[in-house]
Amino acid sequence: MSVAVGLVGAGVMGSEHARILREDTPGATLAGVCDADPRRAAMAACGSPVYSDPLEMIRSNNIDAVLIASPDATHAELVMACLEAGKPVLCEKPLAATAKQALAIVELEMSKARRLVQVGYMRRFDLAYQLLKESFDSGEIGKPRIVHNVHRNPVAPEWMTGSMSITNAFVHEIDITRWLLNTELTTVRVTSMQNGDPLVIEVCTSDDVVITNEINMNCRYGYHVHAEIVGEDGVASLPSMPSRVVHKTGQQILPYPTYWVPRFVEAYKAQTKAWIKTIQTGESNEGASAWDGYITTAVAEQIIEGDKDSKIHLCLPPCPSFYS
């Protein structure tokens, strides 16, 4: 049986998800698209029904599961509606705008006694990150001491305002580091350059690994994500990404993508396939749970509310058995 997916949001990510659902996800059908802009929705829908009210689409009998790719502030309410309707939902990161909203999602999901929420931290499905995790899990590089993360965008998207370099960008490093090292974060110190960009964020984990993070929203040269685990017996890093070498004007050039979709397109596809398989078979996948989404939002919130330039001691509750 093909899973009929309703997509909320047809912007940069939404239109990409629509394409992946239409062309690259066996077992799924794009069964509806909802966006505030009906023309944009129709373009992404490519002939499937267009909705103007996301709640109507979520509740429709023609929709089995929902993919949310609308603006960050709308996520929590839409995920709650999916839970109320008993429908599986893949929500783009972040899960919610506040830790309180994210916790309400966790509580509602637990009350339904069924895992329905997956959060779109797609780096978990990136082959290079998976191999990095394998190096750590296999013990090949020994006990980890340091992780270096670099997250650079050429120019901050125009919708990126205020603390979104933390709530929308750095949340990837929070999630991927917890997943890579299978650990919890304990302290954070943020060093902010003049106008808040770039940020240098130092994090410690419960097993004394130090994580350095450069979050740079305006590096100019391209979209570039890098990670390296320094272990006691060796170092494992992400490789240069598959690209092409251009020989031109006396130079050899290895081009960078201009934004994140080309870099992570295979991860987005693998994430959607895994989500659909989980819906069809009930088998779990590597994706981030509502609990992971809650922890990530809680860490981001505590950083934003914490004292700049001083060490923030994170206060995170233990993981309920429902999620372990």
Which residue's Cβ has the minimum distance to ligand ISE? Answer: 169
Compute CA distances 8 → 86, 160, 224, 249, 279, whole Å. 17, 20, 28, 45, 18
At residue 203's C-alpha, the angle toward residues 231 and 138, to 5°, is 30
Does 177 participate in binding ligand ISE (rule CB under 6 A)?
no
Rg (CA), the chain: 20
Binding ligand ISE by CB under 6 A: which of 101, 168, 177, 271? 168
Q: How far is the CB of 122 from ligand ISE (least distance, A)?
A: 7
Q: Which is nearer to ligand ISE, 48 or 118 (CB)?
A: 118
Structural tokens at position 229: 């685990």
Compute CA distances 56 → 34, 82, 131, 179, whole Å. 10, 11, 41, 35
Q: Which is nearer to ligand ISE, 3 or 78 (CB)?
A: 78
The 98-137 site mask, x for binding ligand ISE (CB under 6 A), equals ----------------------------------------
Q: How far is the CB of 187 from ligand ISE (least distance, A)?
A: 23
Number of Cβ within 10 Å of residue 143's Cβ equals: 12
**Cα separation, 106 vs 39, whole angstroms:** 34
Does 153 participate in binding ligand ISE (rule CB under 6 A)?
yes
Q: Which is nearer to ligand ISE, 172 or 178 (CB)?
A: 172
Size of the residue set binding ligand ISE (CB under 6 A): 7
Binding ligand ISE by CB under 6 A: which of 169, 185, 229, 288? 169
Q: How far is the CB of 153 from ligand ISE (least distance, A)?
A: 5
- Among all chains, which residue has been given the structure tokens 């088998």? 283
Binding ligand ISE by CB under 6 A: which of 121, 129, 136, 260? 260
Residues forming the site for ligand ISE (CB under 6 A): 151, 153, 157, 168-169, 172, 260
